[in-house]
Amino acid sequence: MVPVGNPEGTPEKGISRYYCSGTPVDCVKMALNLIFDKSRPDLLLSGINHGFNGSSAVLYSGTLAATREGALYKIPSLAFSLNDHHANADFSASIYYGKKIIEKFIDTPPNPYTYVNVNIPQGSIDEIRGIRLCRFGMGAWIKEIESRMDPYGHPYYWMVGEYENLEPDDPECDHNLLANNYVTIVPHKIDNTNYPELERLKDVWKDLTRERKN
């Protein structure tokens, strides 16, 4: 963990900045063990990330993994992603809506072991229709790997990916709301046990879990 200055080069009183060469979760672990070893931080923010981090992307996202790690320690944790991969992406809407969401989040934080995922549509403030609290939407990445050949005749593989929307007609899930220019907020939890399925399996697999007789 290395201390760094303000990217703007302007003085900042009482603010310390560090960077870590590891993953976002590594950064959280380093901070909690080396900087906040005596007391926990009041808030953990992850991002803002370039690109979509809704639907099944949350399963792979380092941005969300950092907030999940924070929630594990009961730290109010919030992730932001902008659905735009361009180097010159317009962050004005992210600043505007991010401030509103962070203020509300601090005023009324979620329950323990909850982490919150925010996705902001591509475009200007005027193009965004509002904010929606919603659920995780079902989708999957297909045709993820493309085989290629380098100039020396050696094969290599490039991750490309094509997203398949598995709930195209549901207007209330995150990826469809984001596509319709809404900022989406999805609360996630550490315990992802499927409780209805657990009870069903206890019944249909009861022979598997039967007590062994001596």
Please write the tens of the pLDDT for every residue from 18-68: 888 899 999 999 999 999 999 999 999 999 989 999 999 999 999 999 999
Q: What is the pLDDT of residues 118-129, one digit of tens each?
A: 999 999 999 999
Phi, psi (degrees; rounded to nearest 5) at 31: -65, -45
Q: Where are the domains of the chain?
A: 1-39, 43-137+168-204
Q: How much is the pLDDT for 27?
A: 94
CATH T-level assignment (fold) for domain 43-137+168-204: Stationary-phase Survival Protein Sure Homolog; Chain: A, (3.40.1210)
The pLDDT of residue 1 is 75
- Reported as a single tens digit per residue, the pLDDT across 74-93 is 999 999 999 999 989 999 99
- Using CA atoms, how far residue 14 sits from 6, 17, 18, 45, 135, in Å, is 12, 10, 14, 18, 38
137-161 mean pLDDT: 90
Strand bridging mode 162-165 / 182-189? unpaired
Average pLDDT over residues 148-157: 95
Residue 165 backbone phi and psi in degrees, to 5: -80, 115
Question: HSE of 39 in the Cβ direction (CA atoms, 13 Å)?
Answer: 3
pLDDT at 8 over 90: no
Q: What is the pLDDT at residue 209?
A: 86
Q: Tell me, what's the pLDDT at 79?
A: 97
pTM for the whole thing?
0.89
- Residues 155-209: pLDDT tens digits? 999 988 788 999 999 999 999 999 999 999 999 999 999 999 999 999 999 999 8
In angstroms, the CA 138 to CA 148 distance is 30
Distance CA 111, CA 118 (A): 17
CA nearest 102: which of 45, 146, 40, 64? 45
Q: What confidence category does residue 99 fall into, taking pLDDT thresholds of 50, 70 and 90? A: very high
The mean-pLDDT minimum among 10-14, 69-73, 159-163, 175-179 falls in 10-14
State residue 210's pLDDT score: 85
